[in-house]
Chains A and B, each alone.
Chain A
């Protein structure tokens, strides 16, 4: 041991504290003769190495792609509509939305299940549907539909095509069960409508125009003066301290933001909460009938034996999506109780408690759901935050639907 041992360089990466930075390599690697003679070859090797690295990164990213979901989009204020809605068309759609003549037996309007007084939903665990039927899912609000991605709990129609969604509601046997041609003739029997369609569309009522006008009205239903949006806009006093702690929990400990992210507080994706279906569906014959008919018409195998709502599977037929439902927006959430696709949770407190317990018992449950261990105060804060997502109620003058009048026979 003639030479004293040199102290090893210590680099504490974690603390970013570096004792000694080697200025140059102790033993600079000489270029091999081969490399020296053919420098391009060495570059090729480097390139290959880089490509391999990139491939590995891509591979890992693909395999652990879910990891990216854990980096949610930030919450944001409600966006503006891409285009301005024509006010006349909205006003016409408003009447249509409240007009019972859009249903087969003229007893039901859109507004009877999407009631403005009940957060544009019906306040019931499970929706009622057409007379003689009962539906098997909860009525979602139509507020802020313009910014949605998919509609219905199973996401079977895209929100971008709202007129088609309106058509589906008018035509479906469990919703309005009306023949579009009959609806046209009914509206043509109302002089006010004839005038209004003329001024909005330049012509008489057609099915397409009816759908477009109704859809325009639905698009116009957007949250206004939302405290949380004001808070995001810089008004620190817009929400109280409890709500602020709730927001921190929402983004942190409670992990809500992993699915409820972005400006609409939804990822637009499908998840299973592990809920066992609302037993009322099967204990109320009328609901069970509608349930079977629905899944039968969508071609779900073995629909008679189902005792569990299959959710998005009925559309995709992808086993992985069984019992998954669309993440709903949390905007206006405090007005749209009861909650979940089959209305099993009566209050926001119940919802928070449900997530705190780690979700439902079904095996399909999304692994994101874990017991949260929230304290009572934390639960209260979370609910307090959720309440800040509702704007002031939309006030409308009482709508008066115009009446039928006689036409001159033979002048149609």
Chain B
């Protein structure tokens, strides 16, 4: 069982990453992700006020039309580029469009059939003659050439406005473990992203802030520096934005930003550390987020997994079972359709119809959380009245077709992050494999990529073996010694001296 698939040269990754970015940039989804409704409404209202009445909607329309036009142009440009590239016989095909919504693309998903090529015509990659499948007979045709290649993790990307420095990382670590970022000083980031529980909280659905219960599974923070869509429905685009939502969210940190800044100002050690890390005298909430994100980028990256070593040429890094699992992953099981690229996630949205979580039937506070989320996300009233489950991407886009779709989670560090899925209903990796083997749920709107797989017991075992190889070593960390509140220096000094203000008598 030798795995013929060779690690791609690094440029292929950078190309795919780039095209991925391009795809994101032209995707209407991404544009509308951070509070799209509210932001657009606000812009609309402001326009209405300044442009007096009917002009404003016009301008809004023009903006929209312009947006659509520019996207069309970008798409056309992409097509031209593609034909050029394909004509040159490049063996690294561009990424197809997210295949889910296109009926043609579903034909690729059949276990033993070769990609038929009748999907989206211009995005269908040229057949790749070099890749011959030894194991094709048992593990299915290799679908991997249709998708961004599985690859070793590169260096974590660092945003230009927040370069990683040792000072920031050390500061971010303290903040990550500091309860005082939450409203009642009882919850830290690490409360729900616990190093001992795979940097999640080990529960099916997260515990949330005191007096509340959360409504989704707490995801690991490991390797989140690579993501461009965070939270289960990809609501935010960066670690900084994620930290902000988590700290201030009423089911998570319930923190007040000004209170946090003033708390930090009361601890000379933090003041000193912010000065060293950012050159400021007064910590701002923004810098808190930057420090935490830097800590996550620097210390929560697991790149040295068995699979990464295997991709780098160490053929012995994977067991034979795991190699077979890899072939299944790319072939018969079709996992690679969504779990692709270095992160093993397409960062796109799919509806899996995972089993409904029981917590919403058994815990009043979970019901509170479910209704609350529907309320604050601005769904139509009927939607709120009938709320009985988490609709994922729908809350952002308000499109019926996005109901139940969640962002594909990366598969790295998988071993430590049970239970799985957005509502934690699958307890083990084996459960997940079995779930897909049976073709997911029964909902008619479920992603067409998901079909019964007819895996044998042995194949399921092999697939799980491969998934375990993605985990690497667990990152354990003890809670650092946190700075303490201190009395303001001048007050402490004045306490010993004689009080003044005698001139008033």
Q: Which residues of A contact B (CB under 8 A)?
A: 100-101, 103-107, 130-133, 173-174, 177-179, 181-182, 184-186, 188-189, 274, 276, 279, 282-286, 288-290, 292-293, 296-297, 304, 307, 361-363, 365, 404-407, 409-412
- B488 near A: Cβ within 8 Å? yes
Question: How many B residues, CB 8 Å from partner?
Answer: 54
User: Distance in Å from the Cβ of B206 to the closest Cβ of chain A?
Assistant: 16
- B497 near A: Cβ within 8 Å? no
Q: Could you say which residues of chain A place their CB within 8 Å of the CB of B360?
A: 409
Q: Which A-chain residue is minimally distant from B495 (CB atoms)? A: A283
B488–A288 CB distance below 8 A: yes
A107–B254 CB distance below 8 A: no
Give the most central of B179, B360, B384: most A CB within 10 Å: B360
User: Distance in Å from the Cβ of B180 to the closest Cβ of chain A?
Assistant: 7
* Alpha-carbon distance A367/B261, docked complex (angstroms): 39
- B498 near A: Cβ within 8 Å? no
Contacts A185-B368, A185-B371 aside, 13 further interface pairs with beta carbons under 8 A come to: A105-B254, A131-B184, A177-B183, A179-B250, A185-B375, A189-B368, A276-B499, A282-B491, A289-B259, A289-B265, A365-B504, A406-B367, A407-B364
Pick the interface stretch among B28-36, B141-149, B209-217. B209-217
Q: Which of B478-499 contact A (CB under 8 A)?
A: 485-488, 490-491, 495, 499
Q: Could you say which residues of chain A place their CB within 8 Å of the CB of B183?
A: 104-105, 130, 132, 173, 177
Q: Which of B226-279 contact A (CB under 8 A)?
A: 250-251, 254, 256, 258-259, 261-263, 265-266
- B387 near A: Cβ within 8 Å? yes
Q: Which A-chain residue is minimally distant from B502 (CB atoms)? A: A361
- B385 near A: Cβ within 8 Å? yes
Q: Could you say which residues of chain A place their CB within 8 Å of the CB of B399?
A: none
* Alpha-carbon distance A220/B234, docked complex (angstroms): 49
User: Distance in Å from the Cβ of A369 to the closest Cβ of chain B?
Assistant: 12
Secondary structure type dominating chain A contacts: loop
Give the most central of A174, A179, A185, A274: most B CB within 10 Å: A185
A104–B371 CB distance below 8 A: no
User: Distance in Å from the Cβ of A168 to the closest Cβ of chain B?
Assistant: 14
User: Distance in Å from the Cβ of A353 to the closest Cβ of chain B?
Assistant: 16
* Alpha-carbon distance A178/B501, docked complex (angstroms): 41
A105–B502 CB distance below 8 A: no
User: Distance in Å from the Cβ of A411 to the closest Cβ of chain B?
Assistant: 8
29 A-B contacts, Cβ less than 8 Å apart? A104-B254, A105-B186, A105-B209, A105-B210, A105-B211, A106-B212, A130-B183, A132-B179, A132-B180, A178-B250, A181-B250, A182-B368, A189-B364, A189-B368, A274-B504, A279-B491, A288-B487, A289-B262, A289-B485, A292-B265, A362-B504, A363-B504, A404-B365, A404-B368, A406-B361, A407-B367, A412-B374, A412-B385, A412-B386
User: Distance in Å from the Cβ of B312 to the closest Cβ of chain A?
Assistant: 48
Q: Which B-chain residue is minimally distant from A307 (CB atoms)? A: B491
Given known contacts A286-B485, A288-B488, is B211 in contact with A104 (CB within 8 Å)? Answer: yes
B487–A282 CB distance below 8 A: yes
Q: Could you say which residues of chain B place their CB within 8 Å of the CB of A105?
A: 183-184, 186, 209-212, 254
A101–B386 CB distance below 8 A: no
Given known contacts A186-B368, A288-B487, is B362 in contact with A406 (CB within 8 Å)? Answer: yes
